[in-house]
Amino acid sequence: METKNINLGIFGFGCVGQGLYEVLNRTKGINARIKKICIKDPNKPRPIDMSYFTTDADEILDDPTIDVVVELINETDAAFSIVSKALKNGKAVVSASKRMIAENLPALYQLQVDNKVPFLYEASSCASIPIIRNLEEYYDNDLLNAVEGICNGSTNYILTRIFEDNMSFDEALKKAQELGFAETDPSLDVEGYDPKFKIVILLLHAFGTFVRPEEVFNFGINHLNDFDIQFARQRNSTIKLIGNCRRQNGSVNAYVLPHLVREHNLLYDVYNEYNGVLLESAFTDKQFFVGKGAGGTATGSAVLSDISALLYNYRYEYKKIKQSNQPAFTNDVQLKVYVRYKTPDQVNLTEFYNISEKYESPEYRYVVGTINLQKLKDAAWLKNKEVNLLVLEH
Q: How many helices (H) and strands (E) does the chain have?
A: 15, 17
- Would you say 325 and 212 are in contact if contact means Cβ atoms under 8 Å apart? no
Instruction: Please indicate whether residue 198 is annotated as part of the active site.
Output: yes
Strand, helix or coil at 191?
coil
Vertex 113: Cα angle to 110 and 115 (nearest 5): 105
Residue 302 CA, chain-centre distance (Å), reads 14
Pseudo-torsion of CA 249, 251, 255, 259, nearest 10°? Answer: 20
Region of residue 147 (left: phi > 0; alpha: psi -120 to 50; beta: else)? beta
Cα–Cα nearest to 225, from 244, 236, 239, 237 = 239
CA distance 256 to 156: 13
How long a stretch of residues is the chain? 394
Out of 35, 36, 198, 320, pick the active-site residue: 198
Catalytic residues: 198
